[in-house]
């Protein structure tokens, strides 16, 4: 199936953001700006994995309405479109995983399409609203989803202002702290759609090609234990063995100690029996 990437605001912005990474060779270097970039990568990767994925797509724990809004806002600073759009499409990914109806399967389509193409295509700008009725009932989430571009723009502006007023340099902070970390965040997140269905090991005999991958788990704070996740998608924890590091789960567990996060859904013992060598 051949699919073309149209010239849209999203695709042009995506290309320009990648090209903007080259300005690291022009703006002044600052370790403080690099530190901002590392922190923003980690914080926003957590918001994507804990928010978009484990909360909004799978409801593996509970949040108050205020914290739900804060998580959605933080996740949308990743510039990966709206929270309802993201979660609705991800639910379809599990329903149709690695079939023609899975819009980002590297098995049914291609590595390029699963990693980038489907995000840039305007064929999937809409989403099945009945698929996300549970969260679609909140007007504040509908607002964020519609105006998803506000969140990364506000963050970028804040990073520029921080750099300007602290002496780091506004442009240095923006490029090293925001632009570069956003692009790395794109590809870290997208690697789960693409590489984790091609590269790694399989503990469970699922109906798809999901795989566990230590390297992907490290760069995505635990999402690389993808075969575990597809075996039992309703569990908050994805690294189920002691050596399967799942930093997102550890952070959520600590947040539960102060009651920010509630009712974390466990990975049941009955689902941990391996079905593939």
pLDDT tens track for 159-199: 999 999 999 999 999 999 999 999 999 999 999 999 999 99
Asked whether the predicted pLDDT for residue 270 surpasses 60, the reply is yes
Q: Are 198 and 209 in contact (CB under 8 A)?
A: yes
| Domain span at 63 | 9-271
Q: For the chain, how many residues are written? A: 277
How large is the average pLDDT for residues 214-231? 98
pLDDT, the chain, mean: 94
Position 38 scores a pLDDT of 98
Reported as a pLDDT band with limits 50, 70 and 90, residue 120 is confident
pLDDT in tens, 45-69: 999 999 999 999 999 999 999 999 9
Position 125 scores a pLDDT of 82
Position 276 scores a pLDDT of 77
Position 176 scores a pLDDT of 96
Query: Is residue 254 situated within a structural domain?
Result: yes
Position 239 scores a pLDDT of 97
Position 146 scores a pLDDT of 96
Specify the residue for token string 């990975």: 267
Query: Is residue 133 situated within a structural domain?
Result: yes
Query: Is residue 135 situated within a structural domain?
Result: yes
Position 6 scores a pLDDT of 53
pLDDT in tens, 1-44: 445 555 566 778 889 999 999 999 999 999 999 999 999 999 99
Query: Is residue 277 situated within a structural domain?
Result: no
Position 233 scores a pLDDT of 96
Give the Cβ contact number of residue 25 at 10 Å. 8
Query: Is residue 4 situated within a structural domain?
Result: no
- The SS3 assignment for 100 reads coil
User: Among 104-108, 130-134, 202-206, 271-275, which is the least confidently predicted range?
Assistant: 271-275
What are the two backbone dihedrals, phi and then psi, of residue 53, each rounded to the nearest 5 degrees?
Answer: -85, -65
Distance CA 111, CA 35 (A): 32
Tell me how many domains the chain contains. Answer: 1
Query: Is residue 3 situated within a structural domain?
Result: no
């Amino acid at each position: 199936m051949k699919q073309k990437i149209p010239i849209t605001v999203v695709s042009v912005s995506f290309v320009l953001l990648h090209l903007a990474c080259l300005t690291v060779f022009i703006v002044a270097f600052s370790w403080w700006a690099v530190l901002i970039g590392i922190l923003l990568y980690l914080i926003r990767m957590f918001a994507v994995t804990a928010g978009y994925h484990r909360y909004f797509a799978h409801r593996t724990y509970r949040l108050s309405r205020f914290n739900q809004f804060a998580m959605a806002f933080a996740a949308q600073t990743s510039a990966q479109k709206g929270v309802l759009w993201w979660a609705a499409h991800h639910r379809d990914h599990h329903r149709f995983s690695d079939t023609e109806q899975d819009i980002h399967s590297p098995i049914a389509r291609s590595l390029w399409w699963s990693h980038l193409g489907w995000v840039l295509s305007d064929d999937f700008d809409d989403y099945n609203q009945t698929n996300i009725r549970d969260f679609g009932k909140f007007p504040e989430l509908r607002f964020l989803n519609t105006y998803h571009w506000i969140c990364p723009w506000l963050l970028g502006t804040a990073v520029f202002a921080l750099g300007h007023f602290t002496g780091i340099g506004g442009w240095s902070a923006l490029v090293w702290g925001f632009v570069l970390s956003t692009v790395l965040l794109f590809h870290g997140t997208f690697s789960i759609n693409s590489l984790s269905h091609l590269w790694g090991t399989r503990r469970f005999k699922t109906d798809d090609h999901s795989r566990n991958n230590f390297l992907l788990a490290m760069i995505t704070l635990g999402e690389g234990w993808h075969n575990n996740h597809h075996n039992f998608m309703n569990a908050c924890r994805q690294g189920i063995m002691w050596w399967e590091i799942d930093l997102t789960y550890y952070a959520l567990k600590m947040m539960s100690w102060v009651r920010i996060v509630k009712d974390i859904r466990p990975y049941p013992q009955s689902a941990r029996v391996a079905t593939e060598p």
